[in-house]
Structure 1
């Protein structure tokens, strides 16, 4: 049964992946057609075509390898300086440029001269190329909101899980009390496991972060604490101690390895699934976008550890880069977790949302052959033409993005090597969630 559920989780991820790719390409397709650009093909996947259907002037299909997708627009690159496709050159770099230019003019039909991608104004080309990643961003936001507001997320609550019998500095590597350790304020006040703190120092709160900050700011004070116990509210009096505790940053996250002196009550908060309101959900998503950007920037620095995990005896870190195979494996593990089905579904939706957020950020990198590279080219063309108008110079014409194809091949080669490295690591030393 466990194996069956694992396979089901992988299949579910594959379906979600295909849907995400199709949704991405739909953004490109719809805006391209909106601006009158002819699109001969809309494909989900790469490799041999396993199904296709012609509708109007576009062939829609699914290919065998579900690791991406594309739409083919005619005239992605402008012709050569003479207005025609340039002749072949013996230079390998020039050959790359001319091959890309020739491919962009494949399937050119009579009357298509006015339907070429490069002939559209730069702002229209930006919209067409941005629409794909933007669709992933929209999908990520919808999926995140579905989980946050519909299912809820696991987080600390104001309910007491256990009471510490004494005060132990968090810098000390022990969890047993010594005779010299003072009694914890929570134990001295008569707090019990199962109590739900509803008020601290006259401030009513249902959020752990708020309660934690109130406790930290009350060192040395006598504070009334109202708890809900057996359906009744009971008021306790606690003399808040001063202790060395883990530091919090401006976002309220714990900073491991750094400690400060602050108020200490002495209890462990229970965790539970808590639904978020719209404001909390938006704040949470904003934090995750920031985390994702930081992870993308730090990606090169993680390559040595990833190599060691793939080909050495290094441990695979929980925040290690993970590819499609790794994500599919995690999806299979989610299906086998001993948690309620609703939380299994919520965790899977979280995984798919994170994948779409990563697709958005990755595709926005200003490098060819990514969407961000084409966006950068259109913006540069717009700047050149604007500068020429201001300086009353001749219009420089379209920016020839095809000249950047040698760079695009180098970038693509780096991406392929990195993808293969992640693939090996995902197979021999995968990231695990259980």
Structure 2
């Protein structure tokens, strides 16, 4: 049964993956057609074609390898300096450029002269190339907000999980109470595990981050209104100054960094709590920031990834994963011993994270990624703008094809990284259980 459920989870993730790719390419397709660019092909996947159907001037299809997708636009690159699409050259780098240029015109038909991608104004080309990653961003935002506001997220609450016996600084790294340590203000006030704090000093509270900030800012005696066994009680407490962990602004802590602030001496309980729209937006902002930081840190994780793949090293929980690894995680989610609603929420979070990664990755200003074409359009716009300001001749379209040798190097590095991740995902996968 566990194997069957794992396969179901993998299948669900693959379907979500294919939808995300199709959604990405739809952004390119719709804006290209909006600006009159001819699009002969819209494909989800790579390799042999499993199914295709022509509608109008575009062939729509699904290919065998679900590792990406593409639309084929006519005239992605301008002709060479001599006006030709292809030249004869013995230079391997020149050959790369000429091959790329020729491929952009191979399906050109009579009447397409005014429907070429490179003939569109830079801002239109920028929109066409940005539309794909933007669709992934929209999907990620919708899923994140939907899950956070409906299913909820595991978060700290205003319910008391435990009350500390004595006052010790957070940096002490011990739970033992010294003989001369005083009782915590929470214990002295009579606070108990299971109490839910509903008001702090007469002001209603329902969010742990808000309550935590109020405690740390307190200076002098306060009242705690708690719900206990269906009744409300008002307790009096006097927070003291103590060395505590610095907060991250969302109710969590920054390990290894300490501040002196108000202290009561209890730990909050955690639970699945739906968030309000402002809370969900704030949480999503943290997720996006974490994704951006993870992208920056990606090169630094390659040595550990190599060690995990080939030397049996430990695979870190935040190690990069590929499609195979993510699909395996999707299969593991379905078998988790948690309520069905939380399995659905976790699977949706995985899909949203995948779409966020697609957005961030494609925004890198490198060919052959969308960001590389966007950078080319921006540079052309700047170059033509400067020519107007200084009354110089129009320099014409920026020839992105001349960057194809660099694009092949980048693509080669991406392929090597993808293969490394694939090996690690197979021989030493990331597991949700650690």
Query: CA shift at 1:383, angstroms?
Result: 1.3
Partner of 1:320: 319
Contact 2:208 2:251 in 1 (8 A): no
Aligned pair 1:109/2:137, yes or no? Answer: no
- C-alpha separation between the residues in 1 aligned to 2:189 and 2:125? 67
Equivalent residue, structure 2, for 1:262 = 261
2:201 counterpart of 1:206: no
**TM-score normalised to structure 1 length:** 0.96
Does residue 352 (structure 1) correspond to residue 315 (structure 2)? The answer is no
2-side partners of 1:306 and 1:196: how far apart? 44
The separation in 2 between residues aligned to 1:56 and 1:282, in whole angstroms, is: 41
The Cα offsets for residues 342-373 of structure 1, whole Å up to 9 and x where unpaired, read as: 11101111111111011011101111000010
Helix, strand or coil at the partner of 1:192: coil
Supply the RMSD in Å over aligned alpha carbons. 1.5
Deviation, 1:181, is 3.0
Which shifted more, 380-389 or 240-249?
240-249
Q: Distance in 2 between matches of 1:103 and 1:281?
A: 45
2:427 & 2:247 partners in 1: Cα distance?
36
Structure 1 segment 9-408 matched on structure 2, within 5 A: 9-218=9-218, 221-249=220-248, 253-408=252-407
Structure-1 separation of matches of 2:162 and 2:252: 22
Deviation at 1:250, TM superposition (A): 5.2
Secondary structure at the counterpart of residue 406 of structure 2:
helix
Which one is further off, 276-285 or 330-339?
276-285
Q: Distance in 2 between matches of 1:310 and 1:181?
A: 50
Q: CA deviation at 1:199?
A: 1.3
**Alpha carbons 2:86, 2:99 under 8 Å: kept:** no
In 2, Cα distance between the equivalents of 1:425 and 1:112?
A: 46
Inter-CA distance 277–250: structure 2 relative to 1 (3 Å threshold) = closer
Q: Distance in 2 between matches of 1:243 and 1:431?
A: 39
CA distance in 2, matches of 1:250, 1:174: 25
Distance 1:215 1:250 in 2: 14
Q: Separation in 2 of the partners of 1:140 and 1:369? A: 23
CA distance in 2, matches of 1:322, 1:408: 23
Q: Distance in 1 between matches of 2:27 and 2:213?
A: 44
Query: Following TM superposition, by how much is the alpha carbon of 1:43 offset from its aligned partner in structure 2, in angstroms?
Result: 0.3
The C-alpha deviation readout for 1:274-314, integer Å capped at 9, x for no partner, is: 11121222222222222211111121122222222222243
Per-residue deviation at 1:249? 4.0
Runs of 4+ deviating beyond 6 Å: none
Partner of 1:198: helix, strand, or coil? Answer: strand
* 1:207-229 Cα distance to aligned partner (Å, 9 max, x none): 1011112222236x322111011
Number of residue-to-residue matches in the alignment: 433
How many Å separate the matches in 2 of 1:252 and 1:390?
A: 52
Secondary structure in structure 2 of the residue aligned to 1:412? helix
Deviation of the 1:184 alpha carbon: 2.1
Shift of 1:54: 0.8
User: In structure 1, what is the Cα distance between the partners aligned to 2:182 and 2:312?
Assistant: 45
Paired residue secondary structure (2:224): strand
Q: Shift of residue 16 of structure 1?
A: 0.3
Alignment partner, residue 417 of structure 1: 416
Task: Give 1:416 deviation, angstroms.
Answer: 1.0
Distance 1:225 1:421 in 2: 55
CA deviations over 1:311-335 (Å, ceiling 9, x no partner): 2243222222221111111111111
For structure 1, the residue ranges without an aligned partner over 5 or more in a row are none
Distance 1:202 1:153 in 2: 28
Q: Secondary structure at the match of 2:170?
A: coil
Please give the alpha-carbon distance, in whole angstroms, between the structure 1 residues aligned to 2:393 and 2:378: 18
CA distance in 2, matches of 1:266, 1:252: 15
Q: Report the CA distance between 1:98 and its aligned residue.
A: 0.4
